[in-house]
Amino acid sequence: MTSEALPGCDLRTVMSRRGTVFRILWPALVVLPVVAALLGAGDLAWAAAKKAAPGTDYLFNDSHFHLTNYVQKGTDIHKYVEEIMGDKIGRSTLFGIPLQQQWSYGNSGNFAPTYYLQSDAPLYYYSFTDAYIARVFQSLPKAQQARLDPMITGFNPTDMYGVDHIRRVLELFPGVFSGIGEFSIHKEFVSAKIAGETASLTNPALDRILDFAGEVGLAVILHNDIDMPFAKAGTEPIYLTQMKDLLRRHPNTTIIWAHIGLGRVVHPTQAQASGPGDSAEPSPAYREIVEQMLNDPTLSHVYFDISWDEVAKYVEVSPEIERRTAEVFNAHPERFLFGTDNVAPPDQATQLRVYHLWDAVWAQLTPEASRKIRMGNYERIFDAARVKVRAWEKANVKPL
């Protein structure tokens, strides 16, 4: 640089100013590459987008979304981000279905089932779903990638090698995934259809997977029904004790319990005392079960997603149930996340329908609780996962 570059300044003045500017910029020059290495370009794009558009009034971040269905067909990824998320959904998890419904001609003839209730033929684990999710994610521009958190789902939780599948996916697609799930252990009508060994909460293969997720920093979305379908009323939910034991074995892993353990026919328990001659323990109300878990310090790493219209139906029963639900949310707003659990939606109206099933509850939440459940908890959990997973990849993944 010469003095001609800044009219009216001699060279000494120019160099002095140049040094001042350098001293001002130096911290950013040092910090930004470090942040970029940890977060990745997509995350920086998301941060820049939020700063550039602080007034964007999204309804929610979607903690539970399936891009594809049980035969691996789904919504175009560009349409999902541009039209379906659009200006209503800020961020979203992104995963397929880890199970493929077999089309058995002997069972359904020329009818091609697309859902697990449409056939008696078995389901089987479909590992290619992770490669598909990674590739369609990578087809997006960085700013759109930054709005998504892809999840690994195509592993068999009964297989001691299941954890090796997760590691290989991270090695092959570094910079893509933020977590694992949704994957299922006990799921009404589904578990019995899966070919091979039946998944269990006590299987060491599952412990290996959750240990690895904690080591890497992967967020976990786990589907496990709290009870079996059509269970006897008045007793403790069948899988509650096993589920809590599993969660306590993995205190360093962030685990989101999908649908609060409920399902299509696995409904909330009602308080019921033991009758004469009944040796079973009395059944607590479902609210009591959830609140006991929320207040248990050994389960502070566990969160609950309230996704799926089949869960919302239990809250819509009456204004009183909606009020009680809002009370729990207001008391523990940092532990719940909203998600749609939509599967390959065709349009934005379909995507928003589940959100509006909760309108009566949203209206009774404090602004802080509403913000955390709809937006903030997602950002806190998945932002932390992104940083941890990228750091693990940097330390463990060798360039191809």
DSSP codes of every residue in 205-228: HHHHHHHHHHHHT-EEEEE--SS-
3 state SS of 305: strand
pLDDT the model gives residue 18? 42
* Encoded tokens for 65: 């979304």
Burial class (CB in 10 A: 0-12, 13-18, 19+), 329: buried
pTM of the model as a whole: 0.86
263: nearest Cα among 172, 186, 339, 200: 186
Q: What are phi and psi of 388, to 5 degrees?
A: -65, -45
**AA identity, residue 270:** Q
Report DSSP state, residue 263: -
Rg (CA), the chain: 24
Ranges in the chain, pLDDT < 50? 1-38, 51-55, 276, 279
pLDDT the model gives residue 55? 45
Integer Cα distance of 70 and 72 in angstroms:
6
Report DSSP state, residue 340: -
pLDDT the model gives residue 72? 96
**AA identity, residue 287:** R
pLDDT the model gives residue 233? 75
pLDDT the model gives residue 176? 98
CATH superfamily of 23-396: Metal-dependent hydrolases (3.20.20.140)
Integer Cα distance of 118 and 193 in angstroms:
12
Residue 323 — left, alpha, or beta (φ > 0 → left; ψ -120 to 50 → alpha)? alpha
Report the sign of the C-alpha dihedral through residues 163, 211, 375, 392, in that order: negative
pLDDT the model gives residue 46? 55
Residue 193 contacts residue 237 (beta carbons within 8 Å): no
pLDDT the model gives residue 235? 82
